């Protein structure tokens, strides 16, 4: 079974804080993805990575950065959290393109 884990289920941060969201997969998948999900807007891709130290911008990268130093780990960084970044953040991984993606449990981030 594919397992994707995320560091926190719920997180509350203050405006201006630097926030790290961690994602780990245990199936040696090459591709990893970060999405955010908001009511009425659906799932939107923030960043993705095809390999270690590689990253590609998704549809809404502004205000975010990522790091992939090891194959199994993909981190999302909010450099200076803002209230409009309050959302559900979902990490996913896939073996290769075009294969299916598997999601982690999500982190519900609230920025106050």
Partner 1 sequence: QKEVEQNSGPLSVPEGAIASLNCTYSDRGSQSFFWYRQYSGKSPELIMFIYSNGDKEDGRFTAQLNKASQYVSLLIRDSQPSDSATYLCAVRGSQGNLIFGKGTKLSVKP
Chain residues in the site for partner 1 (CB under 8 A): 31, 33, 40-43, 45, 48, 50, 56, 58, 90, 97-98, 100-106
Provide, rounded to whole angstroms, the least separation between the CB of residue 15 and partner 1. Answer: 25
Q: Is 23 exposed, middle or buried (0-12, 13-18, 19+ CB in 10 A)?
A: buried
> Which residue number, 81 or 106, has a Cβ lying nearer to partner 1?
106
Q: Which two tokens stand for residue 58?
A: 């998704």
For partner 1, the closer of residues 15 and 65 by Cβ is 65
The reply to whether omega before 38 is within 30° of 0 (cis) is no
Determine the 3-state secondary structure of 85 from DSSP: helix
Tokens 């970044």 identify what position? 85
CB of 101 to partner 1, least distance (A): 6
Q: CB 8 → partner 1: shortest distance, Å?
A: 14
């Amino acid at each position: 079974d594919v397992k994707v884990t995320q560091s926190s289920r719920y997180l509350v941060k203050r405006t201006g804080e630097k926030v790290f969201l961690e994602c780990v997969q245990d199936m040696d998948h090459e591709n990893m993805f970060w999405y955010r999900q908001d009511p009425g807007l659906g799932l939107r891709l923030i960043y993705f990575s095809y390999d270690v130290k590689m990253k590609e911008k998704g549809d809404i990268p502004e205000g975010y950065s990522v790091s992939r130093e090891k194959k199994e780990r993909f981190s999302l960084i909010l450099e200076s959290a803002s209230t409009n970044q309050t959302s559900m953040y979902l990490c996913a991984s896939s073996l290769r393109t075009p294969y299916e993606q598997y999601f982690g449990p999500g982190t519900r981030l609230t920025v106050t």
